[in-house]
């Protein structure tokens, strides 16, 4: 009898563990899904090129992420405009078996709640940028900021790889007005970032070259 009770106990425990694991893997939650007014920088899945992915957060996790390896259903008719912040009613799903090279979280959008113009004024900001010694391949989201609108095929740019001093986030900038870049050198630049609200645009103007030094390469032993 004791062995029988232990057997039944083991079976019940196994069922409970399985159900808990399944429930945890497939759990869902209603959230407010927010897409922000400016794009970020990130790499597409299985690509070495940088792009400008959308930035998002949700009411369950207010940290801002790039929309690169996240599955989102229901944004088929979504016409994104920079300068506007969007909120959506969505279902957040923790997938027990996510696709390869994708997050285990996906979102299913049910309706748009708001579209608000949040960049309403022109702005000029001075900043210090670190420029890496090599360019990066970059496909901008909005080509008309860099070339004529009558061109339709996407272009791949050799962009500057930069980050604002004091931060860890890298950016790809096609051009800094007045700056002459030499491959193999690292720079520290004082620049002015100019944001235009309508239509939205961003450009960088060189104020001063603070430093320029050759990139140090490791010596190879023969």
Which are the contacts of 1, defined by CB distance < 8 A and separation ≥ 6? none
pLDDT score for 3: 46
pLDDT band at 99 (very low <50, low <70, confident <90, very high): confident
Domain hosting 73: range is 2-117
Count of other CB atoms within 10 angstroms of residue 138: 22
Which residue bears the tokens 């050799």? 158
Q: How far apart are CA 166 and CA 122, in angstroms?
A: 24
pLDDT band at 147 (very low <50, low <70, confident <90, very high): low
The last residue of a domain, from among 95, 117, 139: 117
Q: Do 178 and 84 fall within a single domain?
A: no
Does residue 86 sit within a domain? yes
Q: What is the pLDDT of residues 175-199, one digit of tens each?
A: 999 999 999 999 999 999 999 999 8
Does residue 222 sit within a domain? no
Q: Which of residues 147 and 97 earns the better pLDDT score?
A: 97
Q: What is the pLDDT of residues 39-60, one digit of tens each?
A: 999 876 666 788 999 999 999 9
Report the pLDDT averaged over residues 207-216.
94
| Secondary structure letter of residue 145 according to DSSP | G
pTM for this structure? 0.77
Q: Do 112 and 196 fall within a single domain?
A: no
Residue count of the chain, please give it: 222
The tokens describing 184, both together, are 């193999």
Q: How far apart are CA 218 and CA 119, in angstroms?
A: 45
The last residue of a domain, from among 63, 85, 117: 117
> Which residue, among 113, 19, 109, has the nearest Cα to 73 in the 3D structure?
109
pLDDT score for 100: 79
pLDDT score for 87: 96
CA atoms within 13 A on the CB side of 150: 0
Does residue 182 sit within a domain? yes
Q: Do 131 and 163 fall within a single domain?
A: yes
Q: How far apart are CA 28 and CA 60, in angstroms?
A: 11
The last residue of a domain, from among 89, 117, 145: 117
pLDDT score for 47: 67
Which are the contacts of 196, defined by CB distance < 8 A and separation ≥ 6? 122, 202
Domains in the chain, number:
2
């Amino acid at each position: 009898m004791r062995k029988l009770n232990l057997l039944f106990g083991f079976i019940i425990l196994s069922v409970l563990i399985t159900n808990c694991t399944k429930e945890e893997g497939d759990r869902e939650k209603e959230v407010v899904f927010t897409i922000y007014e400016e794009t970020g920088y990130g790499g597409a899945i299985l690509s070495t090129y940088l792009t400008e992915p959308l930035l998002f957060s949700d009411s369950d996790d207010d940290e801002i992420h790039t929309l690169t390896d996240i599955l989102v259903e229901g944004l088929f008719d979504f016409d994104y405009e920079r300068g506007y912040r969007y909120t959506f009613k969505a279902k957040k799903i923790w997938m027990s078996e996510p696709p390869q090279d994708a997050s285990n979280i996906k979102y299913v959008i049910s309706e748009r709640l708001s579209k608000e113009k949040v960049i309403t004024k022109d702005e000029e900001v001075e900043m210090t940028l670190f420029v890496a010694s090599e360019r990066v391949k970059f496909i901008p989201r909005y080509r008309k900021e860099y070339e004529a609108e009558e061109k339709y095929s996407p272009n791949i740019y050799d962009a500057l790889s930069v980050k604002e001093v004091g931060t860890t986030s890298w950016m790809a900038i096609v051009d800094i007005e007045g700056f002459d870049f030499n491959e193999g050198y690292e720079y520290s630049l004082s620049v002015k970032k100019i944001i235009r609200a309508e239509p939205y645009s961003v450009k960088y103007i060189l104020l001063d070259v603070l430093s320029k030094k050759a990139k140090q390469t490791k010596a190879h032993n023969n």
